[in-house]
A and B are shown apart, each in its own frame.
Chain A
Amino acid sequence: MDWNFLFVNILNGVVYGAFLLLTSLGLSLVFGLGRVVNFAHGALYAMGGYALIAVMYGVGVGYWLGLVVAPLLVIPIAMAIERATIRPIRQRPDVDTLLVTFGLSSMIVGGIEYVWGTGTKLLPPPAPFAGTVDVLGNQYPLYRLVAAIVSLLVSAGVLAVIQFTPIGLRIRAITDDPGMAEALGVNRKRLLTLVFGCAAGLAALAGALGAPIFAIHPEMGMNILIDSFLVVVLGGLGSLTGSVIGAFFVSLTKSIGGGYFAEWSTAFLFLVVAMALILRPTGIFGRGRVA
């Protein structure tokens, strides 16, 4: 039994999990709050990556400043998109928002291709963090560890905001009982727009963080979109704690699967997720809500 090999795969899994958590939190929030299945989440992730290089090469700032600015650029764009395309059809059946976000995904990816072309752009990790570091005798890219730590910190921040702040309270109220919350004076529409914007910001941040690892190209968000959907449903719709567990569950399965099952790793992941859902249809922390 090669313990070191197992360790490396677990490490990979935890690192990817932190990343996946960042993207999944946004997806979970938007669904829990507005019942919106946001297919455009992957495109917003890509937008983050492109916003980063636009800021870095267009204005000429360093990576870390770019990392802060990129999501701040995406948030208002996302809020405007929500106002224009999603809010008007909120009363309609859920499939309509599914369709609209699908169309938006095409639009955003197409728009990126139009402006920046379809080529791939490589971004080297910021200088102090390029190169490897020794983790229990294994060479591991330092930047991946840094990105994972940043993702975890931001995710923790988001969870803290939801749990401990007044606005978080309003969000939780709407998720629990929209009608009652509105009766108590919570402005649902504006809150939903704001949350959509912030969720997009989280996706954009993830895209920018991932850029030095996964390269920047228009379809960069598609893979992580599928993984995020698995996470959100597995964790339980609308449950943020569920997303935390779900993210690491998915990422560890994928990493260990990749290490031990090679080409069968994604099939293994899908099988495991299917089993888990069959055993627990509402997800790990789902509170009886299934649709």
Chain B
Amino acid sequence: MRGLQSALFTGFVSLLCLSAGGSAVAQEPIKVGVLTIRSGPAKPIGDDILAGIETATKMYGRVLNRPIELVVEESLFNAQAAVTKATKLVQQNQVASILGTSTIETLALLSVADRLRVPIVTSNSGSAAITRERCNRWVFRTNAEDLMSVESLRELVEKTPRLQQAKWFTIGHDYPWSRLVASSVKGVQDLQYVGETFAPLDTTDWAPFIARARAAGATAVIMPVTLGVPLLQFIQQANEFGLTGTAVLVSPIGLPDWLVEKLGSTSTNVISAGSWAAWRYEEAWPTTKEFNQAFYAMHGRVAGMQSLQSGSATLMLYNAMTKAGSVDPEAIVEALETIEVNTPVGSLKFQPNGRQALVSLFLGPYEKLDSPRYGATYAQRADPFPASKSLPKSAAEYGCKL
């Protein structure tokens, strides 16, 4: 036992030393950090984000005649761990930029962005404050933020008589975002709002909350529930209780396509206000088609909204590096401020003197496709809602002072 103990102890200590060491840095490739969710209930989101970045990297090819090396770190979906890993990416790997973060990681990195000093391009963060009152010169965003989605919700309600006459109810997790969604619905004129309920963050049994919606007589239920397994459980249980028979479910930011596939025919009971991306828009945009094909070739499934978004952020970054002619962080930031790029979610550029991309949202119901495409049998039929309508004012008017 003694010998075994010593051997294991030595091995253990060596592991620690090696882990603290890290690999030697090669000069050739440009390193780009990807900080995203690699475990837990939200892992499917992280998978999609990473897949989109990988596809865009392959599509773009070399940058400044150098290959791109993606350095992936797990954020554990936790603010404190995210800061540590971002520090690692910058200190240990000397990455030129960080991609792949969602609201939790982006908010955490905002506080230390001035220490990290690399451009952070997020494509999956909803919190409006990131590009409004808390904006920071290093942090860019390509997806539509929550308040833009709120505008698209208004548009959706105006265009859909069934929703105008419905009795609205909010069921969500207890995030500030959920309350924002609720208050935006309440703010729509002439809309009947019959109640709301917010569940604790680790809720897996939605029965009491569904009962509440029922008791209020809801015929439209908007669901700001955490994207990932929790949303899937909610919709499945709503279906179980027959709620989908008496009410239409409204998703505030759209459903990832893997979730749509799992829901199958149940997804046709869902309408999306402001999806961040819709692959079916390839019929109008060639870049979207190119991306969809590349994605399908690489990953064997359809590109969901997180993938289309993260791919777009990646293309913006590489274009900025090319325009700047270097990987110097300041130069990349300057380039990002002025470029306009054709991405899978349309022609993107960032708001002048701001950090929010002027990106469209996609409204519409989920339906069964006539014939499967890219492995998908259900998908969203989308109409774009342009940024000119969802983000009409200037960055400064929204509270962003860079």
A→B interface (CB under 8 Å): 2, 4-5, 8-9, 12, 15-16, 113, 118-120, 122, 125, 131-132, 138-141, 143-144, 213-215, 217, 219, 223, 254-259, 262-267
Find chain A residues with CB under 8 A from B215 CB: 2, 4-5, 8
In the bound assembly, the distance between CA atoms of A259 and B203 in angstroms comes to 13
Q: Is B188 part of the binding interface, using a Cβ–Cβ cutoff of 8 Å?
A: no
Partner of A259, one of B208, B232, B241, B242: B208
In the bound assembly, the distance between CA atoms of A143 and B242 in angstroms comes to 13
Given contacts A118-B44, A120-B229, A259-B212, contact A213 B202 (CB under 8 A): no
Q: Is B398 part of the binding interface, using a Cβ–Cβ cutoff of 8 Å?
A: no
In the bound assembly, the distance between CA atoms of A140 and B240 in angstroms comes to 8
Given contacts A5-B215, A118-B39, A122-B236, contact A12 B262 (CB under 8 A): no
Chain A to chain B contacts (Cβ below 8 Å), 23 pairs: A5-B211, A8-B211, A8-B215, A12-B207, A15-B207, A16-B207, A113-B39, A118-B44, A119-B43, A119-B44, A120-B262, A132-B242, A140-B241, A144-B207, A144-B240, A213-B237, A214-B205, A215-B233, A219-B41, A258-B205, A262-B209, A263-B200, A265-B199
**Are A118 and B43 within 8 A (Cβ)?**
yes
Given contacts A120-B232, A143-B240, contact A258 B44 (CB under 8 A): no
Find chain B residues with CB under 8 A from A2 CB: 215
**Are B204 and A223 within 8 A (Cβ)?**
yes
B→A interface (CB under 8 Å): 39-41, 43-44, 47, 174, 197-200, 202-205, 207-209, 211-212, 214-215, 229, 232-233, 236-237, 240-242, 258, 262-263
Find chain B residues with CB under 8 A from A141 CB: 240-242
Find chain A residues with CB under 8 A from B205 CB: 12, 16, 213-214, 254, 258
**Are B211 and A219 within 8 A (Cβ)?**
no
Nearest CB of B to A257, in Å: 8
Nearest CB of B to A30, in Å: 24
Find chain A residues with CB under 8 A from B242 CB: 131-132, 139, 141
Find chain A residues with CB under 8 A from B40 CB: 219
Given contacts A122-B262, A132-B242, A141-B240, contact A262 B198 (CB under 8 A): yes
In the bound assembly, the distance between CA atoms of A5 and B208 in angstroms comes to 9
Find chain B residues with CB under 8 A from A131 CB: 242
In the bound assembly, the distance between CA atoms of A144 and B240 in angstroms comes to 9
Find chain A residues with CB under 8 A from B199 CB: 258, 262-263, 265
Partner of A12, one of B44, B211, B236: B211
In the bound assembly, the distance between CA atoms of A86 and B195 in angstroms comes to 51
Nearest CB of A to B292, in Å: 21
In the bound assembly, the distance between CA atoms of A264 and B199 in angstroms comes to 8
**Are A262 and B262 within 8 A (Cβ)?**
no
**Are B174 and A132 within 8 A (Cβ)?**
no
Nearest CB of B to A270, in Å: 10
In the bound assembly, the distance between CA atoms of A120 and B215 in angstroms comes to 30
- Cβ-closest chain A residue relative to B211: A8
In the bound assembly, the distance between CA atoms of A15 and B262 in angstroms comes to 26
Nearest CB of B to A221, in Å: 10
**Are A9 and B197 within 8 A (Cβ)?**
no
**Are A223 and B209 within 8 A (Cβ)?**
no
Find chain B residues with CB under 8 A from A8 CB: 211, 214-215
- Cβ-closest chain B residue relative to A259: B208
Partner of B208, one of A12, A217, A267: A12
4 shortest interchain CB distances as A-B pairs: A258-B208, A263-B174, A259-B208, A12-B207
Find chain A residues with CB under 8 A from B258 CB: 119
Find chain B residues with CB under 8 A from A223 CB: 202, 204
**Are B211 and A259 within 8 A (Cβ)?**
yes
Residue among B43, B205, B212, B214 having the largest count of chain A Cβ atoms under 10 Å: B205
Given contacts A119-B44, A120-B44, contact A213 B240 (CB under 8 A): yes
In the bound assembly, the distance between CA atoms of A131 and B204 in angstroms comes to 20
Find chain A residues with CB under 8 A from B209 CB: 258-259, 262
Nearest CB of A to B85, in Å: 19
In the bound assembly, the distance between CA atoms of A120 and B261 in angstroms comes to 12
Given contacts A2-B215, A120-B262, A265-B200, contact A255 B241 (CB under 8 A): no
Find chain A residues with CB under 8 A from B211 CB: 5, 8-9, 12, 259
Find chain B residues with CB under 8 A from A266 CB: 200, 202
In the bound assembly, the distance between CA atoms of A254 and B262 in angstroms comes to 29
Find chain A residues with CB under 8 A from B240 CB: 125, 132, 141, 143-144, 213
Find chain A residues with CB under 8 A from B212 CB: 5, 259, 262
* Extra contacts besides A257-B208, A258-B199, A263-B174 (11): CB < 8 Å: A113-B39, A120-B44, A122-B232, A132-B240, A215-B229, A219-B41, A259-B209, A263-B198, A263-B199, A263-B200, A265-B208
Given contacts A122-B236, A143-B240, A262-B197, contact A214 B207 (CB under 8 A): no
In the bound assembly, the distance between CA atoms of A120 and B227 in angstroms comes to 13
Residue among A120, A132, A139 having the largest count of chain B Cβ atoms under 10 Å: A120
**Are B41 and A217 within 8 A (Cβ)?**
yes
In the bound assembly, the distance between CA atoms of A259 and B232 in angstroms comes to 21
Nearest CB of A to B185, in Å: 17
Find chain A residues with CB under 8 A from B262 CB: 120, 122
- Cβ-closest chain A residue relative to B43: A118
- Cβ-closest chain A residue relative to B264: A122
Partner of A255, one of B39, B204, B207: B207
